[in-house]
Amino acid sequence: MKDFKDYLEMFLNNINFASLNSEIMKRLRPKELWDFLKKNLEGFIWLSALLLLALMSPALDTPSLCVFRWLGIESCPGCGLGHSVSAVFHGQIKASFNYHPLGIFAIFILSIRSILVFKAYFLYQKQKSQYYDQNL
Amino acid sequence: MTKIYELMPDIQGEEMMFLQNLTKDYDDEKLRNFSNMYRARRKDPQLILLLCLLGFVGFAGVHRFILNQIGMGILYFFTAGLCLIGTIVDLVNYRNLSFTYNRQVASEINHIIARS
């Protein structure tokens, strides 16, 4: 019966250290991952917000996360937007319009915007690598 | 031979490196034209930051209109900056927003000048 330690040892013995030097591993260094995250912060935030809202239940039974409501301000033009987006993901279009009329518009605009953020980043990386190829 | 950093000393960091790469083959006259046009069309990051701060007073999304993102501008304006979350994201991210816009502007001007 092999335990976890044996598996770890087998794994460490079988790592091909030549592959660590390959082009893919060079691109996956922590600094570049952090750079990727930082430059595309907006896209990641919008996509994760949409994902969380899709997993949320659209009914008004959970405690409020609204910053304005914590401060004691009761009415705000964006009130109900989260519930509206969540209702669209659960197929309740009519309920979505009752929470906030801009729910579908928000999903549309936010997903397009995050795609554009990633597109601009990769275009810029391509330009940079072309320049370095010419000069090195 | 003039360099771009002599004509536009106020631009810093990654933006300056990008401009140097873009204008490395230019002669003096082209470089002067480029810097004049770029200075006129560029959006200053500080302008974006200040317009973004308007979101705390109730006029969210003005910076998105300025950066030519009309859809995001409408969404921010009618939802108070996505209930303040969007405004805070843009406060963190204002340099990236303006640099992305300025890159597009610089590439456009580069096309215009390279053809002439």
SS3 assignment for chain B: CCCHHHHCCCCCHHHHHHHHHHCCCCCHHHHHHHHHHHHHHCCCHHHHHHHHHHHHCCCCCHHHHHCCCHHHHHHHHHCHHHHCHHHHHHHHHHHHHHHHHHHHHHHHHHHHHHHC
- State how far the Cα of B17 lies from the Cα of A95, in Å rounded to an integer: 51
CA atoms of B86 and B76, how far apart (whole Å): 7
Of residues B81, B43, B44, the one with CA closest to residue B62:
B81
> Contacts of residue B80 in chain A, CB cutoff 8 Å?
68, 76-78
More confident residue, A128 or A49: A49
A68 within a domain of the structure (yes/no): no
Q: Does A128 touch chain B (CB under 8 A)?
A: yes
Domain that includes residue A126, residue range: 40-58+79-136
Rounded Cα distance between A124 and A118, Å, is 10
Total domains, chain A: 1
Q: What is the mean pLDDT of residues A102-121?
A: 92
A106 domain residue, yes or no: yes
Residue A16 belongs to some domain of the structure: no
CA-wise closest residue to B43 among B98, B96, B107: B98
In a domain, A30, yes or no: no
Interchain CB contact of B2 with A (< 8 Å): no
**Which of B80, B100, B103 minimises the CB distance to A76?**
B80
Asked, for residue A98, whether it belongs to a domain, the answer is: yes
pTM of the predicted model, to two decimals?
Answer: 0.80
> What are the chain B neighbours of A128 within 8 Å (beta carbons)?
21
Nearest to A66 among B78, B83, B92 (CB): B83
A9 assigned to some structural domain = no
**Residue B7 and residue B12: Cα distance in Å, rounded?**
13
Q: Do B78 and A127 count as a contact with CB atoms less than 8 A apart?
A: no
The yes-or-no verdict on residue A45 having pLDDT over 70 is: yes
Q: Name the nearest CA neighbour of A87 among A115, A47, A53, A63.
A: A53
Calpha distance A54→B56 (Å, rounded): 27
For residue B54, the distance in angstroms to the closest alpha carbon of chain A comes to: 15
pLDDT for B20-78, tens place per residue? 888 888 888 888 899 999 999 999 999 999 999 998 888 888 999 999 999 999 999 98
Is residue A6 situated within a structural domain?
A: no
